[in-house]
Structure 1
C-alpha cells in the first residue's frame, strides 16, 4: 500500500503543500495545477472559465494569470474584484480552492514584467481582432498577427491579474480517509483547521 503523504495529518505541512503545488503549477505546464478554473460575477450571475496560472507566491499570498483587457473576465473583475479559483489534479487526488480579490494590472510595472516574461506565441492572442467574445460569421473569421507584430500591438490589450487570497481550501482524497483543511486570513496570518471532507 502507498505510504500516506507527509502532510496527511500535519496542518502546517498541508498549507505548505498547497502553496508548493500552486507554485509548481505556475512553473510547469504539464502540472495538474497549471489550469485552474476562475469564477467571476457578471451582472447576470456567476461565470466560469479556465485560466493559465503564471505565478503563485505564498509570501504575498498571491496568484497571477493573464487575460485580454477587452475580455468579459477583465470587465467582470474590474466591476467586482471578488473571485475564486479551483483546480483538481486527478493523479494527486487533490483539489485546491482559493477565494480572494483581483487587481488588474494593465499599464504598470507588474504588467510590463508579465508581458516581458510572456512567450512570443502567447502574445499573438492579445493582438487578435476582433476582441474576445465577439460574434463571428464563421469559426475562423478573426485575425491573428505574426509574432513580431503581436509583440508590440498586443501589449495594449494585455492585462496581468493578481489575486490576493483570503480563503484557502485543500482536499486530499484517500480511501484510508480523506483529509480537508481550510484557512482564512486575518491580521496575524492564516487561521485554519481540519474540516469534514
Structure 2
C-alpha cells in the first residue's frame, strides 16, 4: 500500500492542496484546467457546461473563466448569480465542488486585462457571428473575423466570470480510505469539517 499524501489527515492541507491544484489548472498544468460550470436557467433548471479555468486567487477565493455576452451562461448569471464549479483530476484522484456567487465583467478594467492576456485564437470566438446558441441551417454557417481589426471588434462581447467561493468540497479517493472535507465562508470567517465520503 502506498504512503498517503501529506494532506490526507490534515484539513488545512486539503484546502491548500485544492487551491494549489486549481492554480495549476489555470496554468494548464493539472486536470483542473477544464472544470464544469453550473448556472441556473431562467426556467429554474440547472445548466452545465465545460469551461476553461483562466485564473485563481486563493486569497480572495475567486476563480475566473471567460464567456461570450451573447451566451446562455452570461444571461443566466446576470439573472441569478448563484453558480457552482466542478473539477476532477483522475490522475490525482481529486474532486472539488465549489459553490458561490458569480459576477460578470464586461468592458471594464477586469475584462480589459483578461482580454489583453488572452491569445489571439481565443479572441476570435467573440467576433464570430451569429452568437453562441443561435440555430443554424447548417453546421458551418458562421462567419469568423478575417483580420486583427475584426477580431478586436469582438471585445464588446467578451465577458469575464469571477466566481467567489462560499462553499468548497474536497474529495480525495484512496484505497486506504477516501477523505472528504467541507470548507465554508461566512464573510471572511472560515469553517472546516471532515465529511463521510
The alignment's TM-score, normalised by the length of structure 2, stands at: 0.96
Aligned to 1:57: 57
- Alignment check: 8 A CA contact 1:104 1:159 kept: yes
Q: For the residues of structure 2 that align with 1:72 and 1:36, how far apart are their CA atoms?
A: 17
- Alignment check: 8 A CA contact 1:96 1:171 kept: yes
> 1:188 offset after TM fit, Å?
4.6
Aligned to 2:115: 115
SS, match of residue 112 in structure 1:
helix
SS, match of residue 194 in structure 1:
strand
Match status 1:175 vs 2:193? no
- Alignment check: 8 A CA contact 2:67 2:74 kept: yes
- Alignment check: 8 A CA contact 1:128 1:145 kept: yes
SS, match of residue 75 in structure 1:
helix
- Alignment check: 8 A CA contact 2:101 2:165 kept: yes
Q: For the residues of structure 2 that align with 1:106 and 1:180, how far apart are their CA atoms?
A: 36
CA RMSD of aligned residues (A): 1.1
- Alignment check: 8 A CA contact 1:69 1:75 kept: yes
* Matches for 1:91-110 after TM superposition, within 5 Å: 91-110=91-110
- Alignment check: 8 A CA contact 1:35 1:87 kept: yes
Aligned to 1:69: 69
Aligned to 1:43: 42
Deviates most, 10-19 or 183-192:
183-192
> 1:175 offset after TM fit, Å?
1.0
Distance 1:156 1:174, change over 3 A: same
SS, match of residue 162 in structure 1:
strand
Which runs of 5 or more residues in structure 2 are unaligned? none
Deviations 1:44-98 (Å, cap 9, x if unpaired)? 2111001100011110000000000110000000000000000111111100010
Which runs of 5 or more residues in structure 1 are unaligned? none
- Alignment check: 8 A CA contact 2:107 2:155 kept: no
The alignment's TM-score, normalised by the length of structure 1, stands at: 0.96
